[in-house]
Amino acid sequence: MAELNGSDRAVDFASLRKDFPLLAREVNGHPITYLDSAASSQRPFQVLDAMRQYDETTHANVHRGVYGIAEEATRRFEAARINVGRFIGAPDPSREVVFAKNATECLNLVARTWGRTHCHAGDTVVLTEMEHHANIVPWHMLAAERGLHLRWVPIDDDGALILDDLEQLLDGAKLLALTCMSNVLGTLNPVRRIADLAHAAGAVVVADGAQSVPHLPTDVASLGVDFLAFSAHKMLGPTGIGVLWGREELLSELPPFLGGGEMILDVRKDGFTPNDIPWRFEAGTPPITEAVGLGAAVDYLDDIGMESIRAHEITLTTYAMAALTERFGSDIHIFGPKDAAERGGVLSFTFRDVHPHDISQILDQYGVCVRAGHHCAKPLMRRLGVNSTARASFALYNDETDVDTLVQALDAAGAFFR
Amino acid sequence: MGSADRWDTGLMPGMEDLYREIILDHYRSPRNRGELESPPAHRVEGFNPLCGDEIVVTLEVRDGGVSDIRIAGTGCSISQSSASLMSAAVKGKPVTEVRELIRTFKGMMSVHESTLPTAGDGSAHEDAEATEPEAIDADALGELAALQGVVKFPVRIKCATLSWNTLAQGLDEIEAPA
């Protein structure tokens, strides 16, 4: 990608596809059409090579050894932290970026530390109807433990949050948890506007960025939230590492999450003294190779430019919605906003009365990988009045050909279940 | 890209094992659909957490036999047809025979699950104890044998067994000491 520099050049997205080795394989005798990046994205050579190079030349445990490669490993690990922080506009990347297992663990971390410190019997936490289970269950657990009330921001039939009564919902609330982008509807929420109202009500704002950070330019300062969680494996990086960004003044007053090595300054028979942030929240040996991979993924995304990626995905989503609607008309129902500029590249749909499982099974015969199920958003499924949907989701390596293949495979599924 | 034949559903290898004509028939025209009034009927719900499918089995047991059964809920072609086939197979049968049928059906699923030719995924050893080469009585299964092909598609086995597990739970609840 050496030819890519500057911010005004046109990116040749078709040429990027060859960076992703998995996309060269076949499935059931067909070239793979990978349309499940909202579940997990594929990795480019640049990420795979960086991890392999680190493992082959540099690996040692971090923050411990005084010997050369241990110091180098620590430097690589902490450099990844800075890199990720810079990628999301963190004011103080070295202190505000916490590594955990995935976005889910990050959200649990906030519930267990901030939540347990600040939420007491009778307090209220506000969620939205479109949350992923990862941003619901930790709050259910905290609510059960502490005797909290949960309130829900409803959605309308187009999959947008209904904000008319938001101020009443936020009245007296301690915390608001919301997704930046729905993993089912694709809806992009007006996070800044909501966060400002939450802050005016005295609530802290926890944002789930698992779907938005990989696909949109992210700047935590302009988002206006207090915590932001996301996963590496949805942004071209490896599994096993997620990121929690938190405002420095909030993180620094929180108790530790898990106990163990790395998170302490001192341990005595009569107690322990926790480490400074961010290591206070990183008990035990962290995912070091994975951090290197995440850093490389961020570099890869930066080289292309998040604005370009967003523009590419809007174009592709517009094309897909038009192609599916043109071919299938009222036989297909696509959930979420109609305007691609108001949504991410996630298309959940139902197709006639064919069950999403059956759709996915037939599509797989043509090498087309789509998700079928409740997408870990059962409250949303109930609101939509369905048990499950099929979902096609895009990343920077998808193109119009993938959409055409989806349409043809769906046509075949329709013929099969006629 | 493949030839124009790529989009001919008739050529999909393996699909005919999964979507047998009997299965599609029961999917399109499910038998014993609905719910019995409960009580007196016993009502039990089953969930497939993988896909969100829900099934409701209502059944009446009289004089040691399943006198009536209804299936409600939503699901894919495999779970719906399996439930429909099950309802037809157990209605009017003594509970002891129904339990035997459940055992035989689940045996068919697990026996084949463990001998799948899915090289390299390492999962073939998991059900070692269920792999005793147990002869499946095809006569006892009747039309249910049509679901045998499901075992070639491991993620769909839970679809096929959902209604059976739900029925077994219902029988356990009915026969549990009050």
DSSP secondary structure of A96-148: HEEEESSHHHHHHHHIIIIIHHH--TT-EEEEETT--GGGTHHHHHHHHHHT-
pLDDT tens column, B22-74: 888 888 888 999 988 888 889 999 988 777 788 999 999 999 999 999 999 98
Beta strands in A258-331 (DSSP E): 264-268, 271-274
**What is the DSSP-derived secondary structure letter of residue A241?**
-
pLDDT of residue B119: 36
Region A188-214: mean pLDDT is 98
**Domain assignment present for A245:** yes
Let me know if residue A5 belongs to a domain: no
Residues A288 and A139 in one domain: yes
Q: How far is A263 from chain B (nearest CA, A)?
A: 36
Chain mean pLDDT for chain A: 95
Residue A1 lies in a domain: no
Q: Is A376 a catalytic residue?
A: yes
Q: How many CB atoms lie within 10 A of CB A323?
A: 15
Distance CA B58, CA A382 (A): 23
**Does A58 share its domain with A135?**
yes
What is the residue extent of each domain of chain B? 13-117+125-173
Nearest CA in chain B to A390: B51
Based on the fold, state whether residues A318 and A262 are members of the same structural domain.
no
pLDDT in the model for residue B50: 75
**Could you say which of A267, A302, A337 is where a domain stops?**
A302
Q: Are residues A25 and A68 located together in one domain of the fold?
A: no
Verify that A220 and A126 share a domain, yes or no: yes
Name the packing angle between helices B157-175 and B77-90 (round to 10°).
Answer: 40
Out of B6, B80, B159, name the one closest to residue A366 (CB).
B6
* Same-domain check for residues A69 and A203: yes
Tell me what percent of the residues of chain B surpass a pLDDT of 70: 74
Question: How many Å apart are CA B53 and CA A81, to the nearest integer?
Answer: 41
Residues A259 and A310 in one domain: no
Last residue of a domain, one of A261, A278, A302: A302
Q: What is the mean pLDDT of residues A173-198?
A: 98
Kindly state whether residues A36 and A56 are assigned to the same domain.
no
In a domain, A18, yes or no: yes
A126: tokens are 């506000």
- Cα–Cα dist A196/A191, whole Å: 8
Residues 6+ apart with CB under 8 A from B120: none
DSSP annotation of A6: S
Q: What is the CATH number of the domain that holds A390?
A: 3.90.1150.10
DSSP structural state of residue B11: G
Rounded Cα gap, residues A295 and A63, in angstroms: 18
Flag if B1 and A381 touch (Cβ within 8 Å). no
Domain encompassing residue A407: 13-44+306-416
Under 8 Å between Cβ of A295 and A79: yes
Contact A358 B77 (CB under 8 A): yes
Last residue of a domain, one of A302, A330, A363: A302
CB-defined contacts A:B, below 8 A: 62
The residue assigned the tokens 């030819």 is A3
Instruction: Decide yes or no: CATH 3.10.180.10 for domain B13-117+125-173.
Output: no
Higher per-residue pLDDT: B171 or B139? B171
The model's pLDDT over A346-364, given as tens digits with 9 standing for 90+, comes to 999 999 989 999 999 999 9
> A369 has which bridge partners?
A34
Q: What average pLDDT is seen over chain B?
A: 78
**A359 contacts A390 by C-beta, under 8 angstroms:** yes
Backbone φ and ψ for A139, nearest 5 degrees, come out as: -80, -35
Nearest CB among B8, B19, B52 relative to A374 is that of: B52
Distance in angstroms (rounded) separating the CA atoms of residues B104 and A299: 56
In chain B, which residues have their Cβ closer than 8 Å to the Cβ of A361? 18, 153, 156
Does residue A333 form part of some domain?
A: yes
Report the percent of chain B where pLDDT is more than 90: 30
Q: Do A388 and B51 touch (CB under 8 A)?
A: yes
The answer to whether the CB atoms of B75 and A374 lie below 8 A apart is no
Shortest Cα–Cα distance, A348 to chain B (Å): 14
Give yes or no for residue A5 having a pLDDT over 70: no
Interchain CB contact of B9 with A (< 8 Å): yes
CA distance B54 to A21: 39
> Nearest CB to B52: which of A387, A408, A415?
A387
- Is the reported ipTM for this assembly greater than 0.85? no
Number of other CB atoms surrounding residue B49 within 10 Å: 10
Whether A79 is covered by a domain: the verdict is: yes
Task: Answer whether residue A346 is part of any domain.
Answer: yes
Instruction: Decide: B150 and B110 in contact? Cβ < 8 Å.
Output: no
Q: How many structural domains are present in chain A?
A: 2
Residue A276 shares a structural domain with residue A314: no
Task: Count the neighbouring beta carbons within 10 Å of the beta carbon of residue A37.
Answer: 26
**A376: its two tokens:** 């870990």
My answer on whether A394 and A265 are in the same domain is no
Q: Determine, yes or no, domain membership for A230.
A: yes
Find the distance separating the first CA and the last CA of chain A, reported in whole Å: 46
Residues A33-74 pLDDT 10s: 999 999 999 999 999 999 999 999 999 999 888 899 999 999
Report CB contact under 8 Å: A361, B18.
yes
Residues A185 and A100 in one domain: yes
- A260 and A397 part of one domain: no
